[in-house]
């Protein structure tokens, strides 16, 4: 790649520190594990890889003061993304985790001590509570997977005095509250109650597709429709806001199955539904991808990557070729889904907030416009993260 002379493969924290120390001392990159670099003659040298960091509790808390634009970020989103684990124990074929876990030898999925995690959140809350921080967003892909870990986190959150002051939003899966449940194959309501008592206001779930064939046979999620239905109903019952993530146009997905996704969202009623267009990934280190027509693993083809201009957002952009519909059709279908669900949400919020909704809308969009932001994304963030909309 033009202008790139070295890349770090794996986790960067320790490796980057070694790179900087070595460069400061005038040394070469050839002795640093985890670095691939280009020699002055253009030859690419791949150093041996460095294992994943074993104990991620040893890492210091990130210093967000180095982020010069953080106040703008708080203005638009009001939340701080945090991470208490690395990797994911699942192997969904649509997900970058599959390639990441194979990139470096060793066990990629590691968790932090929940008490240490809460200490970090409290530390950031003290620093940013008067600068627009209104919600913590642990970015762990399946936050409540481990029952005891979740209980420890919630207890520590309450003990730290964060509960009631800083709500939080988590990622989960449609089957997570069934795993490790004291009543086999039943939804673990106690785990949900711990989260709600601690201050969990929002749960984000991958619906992915309304068709179980697409969700489970193609994307390997292994989540049933009935698990999704019960989970969304219970989240609503306990007053938790839901974000539902959908992926349109997966390998071999048909028009009828895409309509199933639409109907599934109508039935589940996520407060904030999101519709991505499916993108191919290089799923394995040997460069395989899932073929769109046959759903089998085939060598990665460069032309299947999206055009550069489509990479600006993961929400919008050109879909892949399909035997079942044209690219134009699926993009229109995405617009239709957004039109239907977003306007339904906007109308509901307008009825509830009245003139405050209108004032916030113009103020927020104006800020986005002045900054030259992508206005579709600004609008999406307005409906999901601005003002009262963050918790509605």
Give the 3-state secondary structure of residue 380: helix
Q: For residue 149, what are the contacts with CB-CB under 8 A and spacing of at least 6? A: 111, 114
**Is there binding between residue 218 and ligand SF4 (CB under 6 A)?**
no
**Is there binding between residue 207 and ligand SF4 (CB under 6 A)?**
no
**Is there binding between residue 141 and ligand SF4 (CB under 6 A)?**
yes
* Minimal distance, residue 80 CB to ligand SF4, in Å: 20
Q: Are strands 135-138 and 79-82 parallel, antiparallel or unpaired?
A: parallel
* Minimal distance, residue 173 CB to ligand SF4, in Å: 6
**Is there binding between residue 178 and ligand SF4 (CB under 6 A)?**
no
Given the structure tokens 């697409």, which residue do they identify?
214
**Is there binding between residue 173 and ligand SF4 (CB under 6 A)?**
yes
* Minimal distance, residue 88 CB to ligand SF4, in Å: 3
- Chain positions 78 to 107 lying near ligand SF4, rule: CB under 6 A, are 88, 90-92, 95, 97
* Minimal distance, residue 372 CB to ligand SF4, in Å: 32
Q: Which of 32, 135, 142, 240 binds ligand SF4 (CB under 6 A)?
A: 142
Distance, in Å, from the CA atom of 206 to the CA atom of 222, rounded to the nearest integer, reads 11
Taking the least distance from each CB to ligand SF4, the nearer of 199 and 206 is 206
Distance, in Å, from the CA atom of 220 to the CA atom of 228, rounded to the nearest integer, reads 15
Taking the CA atoms of 383, 68, 160 and 153 in sequence, report the sign of the dihedral they define: positive
Taking the least distance from each CB to ligand SF4, the nearer of 92 and 342 is 92
Taking the least distance from each CB to ligand SF4, the nearer of 133 and 207 is 207
Taking the least distance from each CB to ligand SF4, the nearer of 91 and 304 is 91
Taking the least distance from each CB to ligand SF4, the nearer of 95 and 200 is 95
Taking the least distance from each CB to ligand SF4, the nearer of 100 and 234 is 100
Output the DSSP codes for 273-312: EEEEEP-----STT-EEE-TTT-SEEE--GGGSPPGGGGG
Distances (CA, A) of 329 to 13, 155, 214, 300, 387: 44, 49, 19, 25, 35
Distances (CA, A) of 93 to 56, 100, 229, 244, 382: 26, 12, 23, 19, 31
Interface contacts to ligand SF4, rule CB under 6 A: 88, 90-92, 95, 97, 141-142, 173, 206
């Amino acid at each position: 790649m033009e202008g790139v002379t070295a890349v770090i493969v794996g986790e960067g924290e320790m490796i980057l520190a070694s790179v900087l120390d070595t460069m400061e001392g005038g040394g070469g990159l050839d002795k640093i594990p985890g670095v691939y670099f280009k020699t002055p003659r253009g030859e690419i040298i791949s150093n041996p890889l460095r294992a994943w960091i074993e104990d991620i509790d040893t890492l210091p808390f990130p210093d967000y003061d180095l982020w010069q634009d953080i106040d703008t970020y708080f203005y638009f989103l009001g939340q701080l993304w945090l991470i208490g684990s690395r990797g994911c124990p699942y192997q969904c074929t649509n997900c970058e985790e599959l390639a990441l876990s194979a990139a470096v030898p060793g066990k990629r999925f590691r968790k932090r001590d929940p008490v240490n995690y809460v200490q970090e959140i409290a530390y950031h809350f003290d620093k940013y509570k008067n600068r627009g921080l209104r919600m913590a967003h642990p970015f762990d892909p399946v936050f409540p997977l481990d029952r005891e870990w979740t209980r420890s986190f919630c207890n520590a959150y309450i003990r730290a005095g964060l509960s009631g002051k800083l709500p939080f939003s988590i990622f989960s899966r449609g089957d997570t509250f069934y795993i490790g449940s004291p009543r086999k194959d039943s939804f673990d309501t106690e785990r949900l109650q711990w989260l709600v008592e601690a201050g969990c206001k929002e749960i984000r779930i991958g619906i992915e597709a309304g068709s179980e064939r697409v969700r489970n046979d193609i994307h390997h999620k292994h989540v049933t429709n009935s698990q999704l239905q019960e989970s969304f109903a219970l989240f609503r019952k306990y007053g938790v806001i839901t974000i539902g993530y959908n992926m349109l146009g997966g390998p071999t997905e048909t028009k009828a199955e895409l309509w199933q996704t639409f109907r599934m969202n109508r039935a589940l009623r996520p407060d904030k539904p999101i519709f991505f267009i499916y993108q191919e990934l290089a799923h394995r280190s040997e460069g395989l991808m899932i073929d769109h027509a046959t759903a089998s693993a085939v060598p990665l083809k460069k032309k299947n990557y999206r055009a550069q201009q489509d990479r600006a957002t993961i929400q919008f952009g050109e879909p892949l070729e399909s035997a079942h519909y044209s690219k134009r059709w699926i993009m229109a279908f995405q617009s239709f889904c957004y039109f239907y669900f977003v306007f339904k949400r906007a109308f509901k919020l307008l009825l509830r907030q009245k003139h405050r909704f209108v004032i916030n809308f113009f103020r927020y969009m104006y800020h986005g416009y002045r900054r030259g932001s992508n206005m579709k994304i600004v609008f999406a963030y307005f409906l999901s993260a601005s003002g009262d909309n963050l918790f509605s």
